[in-house]
């Protein structure tokens, strides 16, 4: 698990590196062509260059919860890595094309201008499948006692 306070203070490639410690979810996926996975098959670090920048953080009206907003940038052929959050994520694709892959449901193709919602605890991975660096605005309402992001191999 990643300490939210550390992650939010850094907001740079170092935080993205910690965020992206996870790899593709299965050896079969790793062998698929780049067009299916969003990364290059031989890429040793599919999360390199992913950044999450803290924009704002505020206490929620509900005790024990807080609202956190970030700008997530995912370079071409890269991905966020499999992860979850201790609360909901409400997002918007500012620029780019993403294949949002979930452990428990079909993938969701998102393009510039598309909103998205990820329920509490759902494991997901945002893969840039477009031609530019993807920019996503992500707002979380999360348990303030837990790390913002938990990564999975």
**Where are the chain's structural domains?**
4-151
58 burial type by CB count under 10 A (0-12 exposed, 13-18 middle, 19+ buried): exposed
- ∠ Cα 7 94 114 (to 5°): 110
Q: Do the Cβ atoms of 80 and 72 come closer than 8 Å?
A: yes
The model's pLDDT over 38-65, given as tens digits with 9 standing for 90+, comes to: 445 567 899 999 999 999 999 999 999 9
Options 2.60.40.1180, 1.10.10.1100, 2.60.120.10, 3.20.20.70; CATH of 4-151: 2.60.120.10
Range in 4-13, 20-29, 83-92, 128-137 with the lowest mean pLDDT: 20-29
Q: Tell me, what's the pLDDT at 94? A: 98
Average pLDDT over residues 71-93: 97
Average pLDDT, the chain: 80
Question: What's the pTM?
Answer: 0.73
User: SS3 for 76?
Assistant: coil
Per-residue confidence at 81, pLDDT binned at 50, 70, 90? very high
pLDDT at 9 over 80: no
């Amino acid at each position: 698990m990643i300490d939210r306070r550390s992650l939010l203070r850094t907001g740079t490639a170092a935080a993205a590196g910690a965020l992206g410690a996870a790899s593709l979810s299965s050896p079969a996926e790793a062998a698929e062509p780049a067009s299916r996975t969003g990364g290059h098959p031989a890429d040793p670090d599919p999360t390199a260059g992913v950044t999450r920048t803290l924009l704002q953080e505020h206490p929620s009206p509900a005790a024990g919860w807080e609202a956190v907003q970030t700008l997530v940038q995912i370079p071409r052929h890269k991905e966020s890595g499999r992860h979850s959050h201790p609360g909901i994520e409400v997002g918007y694709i500012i620029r780019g094309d993403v294949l949002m892959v979930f452990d428990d449901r079909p993938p969701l193709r998102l393009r510039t201008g598309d909103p998205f919602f990820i329920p509490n605890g759902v494991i997901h991975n945002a893969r840039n499948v477009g031609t530019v660096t993807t920019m996503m605005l992500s707002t979380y309402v999360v348990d303030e006692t837990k790390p913002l992001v938990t990564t999975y191999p």
